Amino acid sequence: MSRIEHVYVNGEIVAADDARLSAFDGGISHGAGLFTTLRTYHGKPFRLPAHLARMRRSAERLALPMPSEDGEIDDAVRRLLRASGLGDARLRITITPGSVRAAAGDSPSPTVLITAQQAESYPPEFYRRGMTVCVSSFKQHKDDPTVGHKTVSYFSRLLALREAHRKHCGEAIWFTTDNHLAEGSISNIFVVRDETVLTPPVDTPLLPGIARAVVLEVCAALRITALEQPLTINHLLEADQVFLTNSIMEVMPVCRIERHAVGDEKVGDVTRRLHEGYRDVVWKECPPDA
């Protein structure tokens, strides 16, 4: 992964090695806070307003502070991109409650940390031959207040990914405690059956991914039937095609679930068309400078 040279911290662009957070920051002491990861193309952030809107919904639900205006974060992102000189970048925006030692009655002053580094794509082989995934041994519970939100308390997801990597898999797929298909550790999941695209509904619960929303838009534009409905292990194992989405991988074909072959173990036509459609949206919204 490429080195991060500059970061944005609470209003300032600083050298990455000089960035400092309070030892009493709520993100460190309590694991409290939110983050989002997004791509820039040609120096333009893709769907930044949607990422910030999701963060605000989560902040309201979890009673976490956010900067008063999205413009503050938008300006910070653009300043950081100029400082880093990056066109195609991976951005991470992290917002925590700030110091937990604030005096009683003081208005919360959240910590805002933004990092940018050169975007590094997944291996081309994954897009040609499909990724191998596994089913996580962990389950997510509908009564967990953090499920469906991208919080900095992310260790369970990392543990599931470690488990996947030990099995030589690229992602770990989570089910709920009542055995409904939910999502990947870092992705949303779709299955294709008889040319129909199926994905679990947001109230499963799961993270309402920004790339997930783009794919559903592309389905509508291409007149591909897409349904959000509860899914089980049988839907996954009997699928003709399976693919994952997130802002970095975009649309990732899955051709193997551990030793189980998906369809004919080749990247399917619907998956390919949706990835091309996704890239068309990116090109339209983040065009290269004329």
Q: How many CB atoms lie within 10 A of CB 210?
A: 23
Per-residue pLDDT at 104 exceeds 80: no
One domain for residues 135 and 107: no
One domain for residues 44 and 155: no
Residue 287: cis peptide before it, omega within 30 degrees of 0: no
One domain for residues 19 and 161: no
In angstroms, rounded to a whole number, what is the distance separating the alpha carbons of residues 34 and 98?
A: 12
One domain for residues 89 and 180: no
One domain for residues 261 and 143: yes
One domain for residues 166 and 275: yes
One domain for residues 104 and 245: no
In angstroms, rounded to a whole number, what is the distance separating the alpha carbons of residues 153 and 32?
A: 7
290 inside domain: no
One domain for residues 247 and 160: yes
Q: Percent of the chain at pLDDT above 70?
A: 97
One domain for residues 133 and 265: yes
One domain for residues 162 and 42: no
Q: What is the mean pLDDT of residues 246-252?
A: 98
26 inside domain: yes
pTM of the model as a whole: 0.95
Position 3 scores a pLDDT of 80
Q: What is the mean pLDDT of residues 260-267?
A: 96
**Number of H-type helices and E-type strands within the chain:** 8, 15
Tokens standing for 88? 């195609």
Position 69 scores a pLDDT of 87
Strands (E), 59-203: 89-96, 111-118, 131-140, 171-176, 181-184, 188-193, 196-199
In angstroms, rounded to a whole number, what is the distance separating the alpha carbons of residues 234 and 169?
A: 20
Domain boundary among 93, 118, 143: 118
**What pLDDT, in 10s, does the model give residues 162-192?**
999 999 999 999 999 999 999 999 999 999 9
**What pLDDT, in 10s, does the model give residues 32-66?**
999 999 999 999 999 999 999 999 999 999 999 99
Q: What is the mean pLDDT of residues 248-272?
A: 97
Position 271 confidence tier, pLDDT thresholds 50, 70, 90 = very high
10 inside domain: yes
SS (H, E, C) 265-278: CCCCHHHHHHHHHH
Domain boundary among 97, 118, 139: 118
In angstroms, rounded to a whole number, what is the distance separating the alpha carbons of residues 204 and 5?
A: 39
Number of domains in the chain: 2
What burial class does residue 30 get, using C-beta atoms within 10 Å of its C-beta: 0-12 exposed, 13-18 middle, 19+ buried?
middle
**What pLDDT, in 10s, does the model give residues 108-117?**
689 999 999 9
Domain boundary among 67, 85, 118: 118
Sign (positive/negative) of CA torsion 248, 250, 252, 258? positive
The CATH number assigned to the domain holding 18 equals 3.30.470.10
1 inside domain: no
Position 5 scores a pLDDT of 87
Position 289 scores a pLDDT of 81
Full residue range of the structural domain in which residue 187 is found:
124-285
